[in-house]
Amino acid sequence: MHCPIHVTLRVRPGVPSLRGGALVHEWRRSLAEANERGDFRVAHYSLQGDHAHLIVEAHGKEALARGMMSIGARLARAVNRVGRRSGPVLDGRYHHRSLRSPREVRRALAYVLLNARRHLAKSRGVSRSATAHLDGASSARWFDGWRREAASRVQEARGDASAAQPEVARPRTWLLRVGWRRHGLVDPAEVPGGAVPT
């Protein structure tokens, strides 16, 4: 394992939104049980209406395939339990991209953790000056790379969960632990896809 991986999972049309409060809670519980499997770990995620983004680390293609099979099954079971439904949830295979440089990792972190803000910017024209909130349907509350002025928002987002076990694993690759910081900490007011603020 030399570099982290950005993974996207899509759900089938007609599946309830992944951002519902009960589903987010169930996903967190389920992910906490499987976030680290030795050769595979989920370091960050965000749930959107019809897809999920994850940043994972895996020791090779087989570990990635096994880990994603487990994560996909957990997401499907969570959706079906909360929605009191049965049947397939995921729409085909996951898409993945290896992140090979500090800049790629930094962009992926902002993209995943601020993806809801990106979607709002596209649909409603949210600007960088709009009030920034940490996305409750993501691992943003466990991310330690926010700019200093965002620290109070992180504490608010963690709330009573600060004593809880995170549902994501600590990254082990140099790129995901340290390397990405060469390009600046992440500002919760960023709109991913634009320029990285200086």
- What's residue 157's pLDDT? 60
Degrees (nearest 5) of the Cα angle 160, 71, 42? 60
Cα separation, 32 vs 51, whole angstroms: 19
Closest listed residue to residue 92, CA positions, set 78, 71, 72: 72
Q: Give yes or no for residue 11 having a pLDDT over 50.
A: yes
Average pLDDT of the chain to the nearest whole number: 87
- What's residue 197's pLDDT? 43
Amino acid identity at 134: L
pTM summary value: 0.87
Cα separation, 96 vs 25, whole angstroms: 25
Q: Which two tokens stand for residue 158?
A: 């963690």
Q: Who's near 154: CB < 8 A, 6+ residues apart?
A: 134, 140, 141, 143, 146
Residue-wise pLDDT for 123-142, tens only, equals 665 555 556 788 999 999 99
- Phi-psi domain of 105 (left: phi exceeds 0; alpha: psi -120 through 50; beta: other): alpha
Amino acid identity at 157: A
Burial of 54 (0-12, 13-18, 19+ CB in 10 A): buried
Q: Who's near 72: CB < 8 A, 6+ residues apart?
A: 9, 90, 94
Beta bridge partners of 11: 90
Of residues 124 and 191, the one with the higher pLDDT is 191
